[in-house]
Structure 1
Amino acid sequence: MHPNQHFRHEDQSFHKSLIDRIGFGMVFCETPDGPRVAHTPMLQTETGKIRFHLARGNALTKHLADCRALIIVNGPDAYISARWYEDPNQVPTWNYLAVEAEGTVERIDREGLVELLAALSARHEARILDGTPWTMDKLSDKHREGLLNAIVGFEMTVENWRETAKLSQNKPAEVRAPVIAGLERQGDAAMAGLMRDLPA
């Protein structure tokens, strides 16, 4: 993660809120076949563990059980143009939010996998404004079993958190203001809003 302490955010609620809001990330693990990564929906449990599932045929699936792995969840990001600063000695940069979770991964049983899928779909279906939320009971038993057999559920016990909230905190408010305006002109309301919410 970024070495500048200005961009650290030690509050554990930051980690949870980013995982909850984004709901999707990457799992990395060193395997006998070399380093591998998988992209997957994620859910943090009440005890702070991170659950996810992979296709049974994924190159990482057969190696993950009892593996020490790394999970990365990325939040909003944006290119910051040097033209938005008055100081000619500024350079372009990139602002972003990211969380890393490191820990040991275990496979979860079928019941846990079904619970994970139901919780994932319930969370994300609730964000869709129109229609009736989709649930797994809409599937036929045969189709449901076939889909469940095609995926494997996992759970990481997080031992280390690392985070970056790089939002130009190392610059005073009067320097950030034209950057925020530039982002808004570009239509990047998410990053502009995050930067605006920083303490003065």
Structure 2
Amino acid sequence: MHPAKSFRIEDRQTLLAFVRAHPFVTIAAAVGGRPFVAQAPVVVRELDFGEVALDFHLSRGNALAPYVVQGFRAVALATGPDAYVSPDWYGSADQVPTWNYVSAEAEGLVAPLSDAEFVALLDDLSAQEEARLSPKKPWTRAKMSPGRFEAMMRGIIGCRLSVERLEGTFKLSQDKSEADRAGVVKALGDHPMAGLMRGS
């Protein structure tokens, strides 16, 4: 995460909403002295006693898959819009180029899901993403041939990252004057970053 406090987001509900809106995350881990990266869509779980988890699945051919049973620590990074910011867009002199972006980072232990949790993950993930396609009638596995879903499950492994640390960076030129920020927003036009800057 960016070290500047002005860009840091620590409000849990804000961060969970961000991850729900950007659920395709990058998972980074160092296992056996080697760095690994995987990408996967997640379902956010708010569990008992205030605990939070990110449920996801990996192909059994993924380099991280063999380590899930023994467990490993990982960081999941969700990213949103980003944009290059030219110094020419500021009203102030002697500025340098920078990049505005939004991201959330969750760190914790990854362990396997139970069979029931794994099925629930796949159903919930489909429902989560099908809902984004409304008014389309949602797809469900009931449309699959008998036995096909179970056969396909054998090629993947269900995982849960139990979140111990959750924080984000919403770098939206908060360290600049209102005039300089307005110049960036104007130059970005209809870019999604401009909308985020207007709302911050």
Q: Same fold (TM over 0.5)?
A: yes
Structure 1 residue runs of 5 or longer lacking an equivalent are none
How much does 1:21 deviate?
0.3
Name the structure 2 match of 1:5: 5
How many angstroms apart in 1 are the aligned matches of 2:158 and 2:188?
39
Deviation string 1:127-170 (CA, Å, 9 cap, x unpaired) is 11353211111111222112111110111111112321100011
Percent same amino acid among aligned pairs? 40
How many angstroms apart in 2 are the aligned matches of 1:96 and 1:14?
16
Map 1:3-152; keep pairs closer than 5 Å.
Answer: 3-32=3-32, 34-47=34-47, 48-65=52-69, 66-152=71-157
Q: Which amino acid aligns with 1:22?
A: H
How much does 1:87 deviate?
2.2
Q: Which amino acid aligns with 1:192?
A: A
How many angstroms apart in 1 are the aligned matches of 2:188 and 2:39?
28
Name the structure 1 match of 2:164: 159
Q: Report which stretch shifted further, 129-138 or 89-98.
A: 129-138
How many angstroms apart in 2 are the aligned matches of 1:140 and 1:112?
22
How much does 1:172 deviate?
2.0
Asked if the contact 2:27/2:76 (under 8 Å) is kept, the reply is yes
Query: Structure 1's 172 and 87: CA in aligned 2 closer, same or farther, altered over 3 A?
Result: closer
Structure 2 residue runs of 5 or longer lacking an equivalent are none
Coordinate RMSD, CA, aligned: 1.3
Name the structure 1 match of 2:199: 197
How many angstroms apart in 1 are the aligned matches of 2:31 and 2:17?
30
Secondary structure of 1:45's partner? strand
Deviation string 1:32-58 (CA, Å, 9 cap, x unpaired) is 261101000011112211111000110
How many angstroms apart in 2 are the aligned matches of 1:37 and 1:134?
30
Asked if the contact 2:27/2:37 (under 8 Å) is kept, the reply is yes
How much does 1:60 deviate?
0.7
Aligned length: 195
How many angstroms apart in 2 are the aligned matches of 1:61 and 1:27?
12
Deviation string 1:83-133 (CA, Å, 9 cap, x unpaired) is 111223111111111111111111002211111111111111111135321
Asked if the contact 1:29/1:64 (under 8 Å) is kept, the reply is no
Asked if the contact 1:51/1:153 (under 8 Å) is kept, the reply is yes
How many angstroms apart in 2 are the aligned matches of 1:67 and 1:172?
43
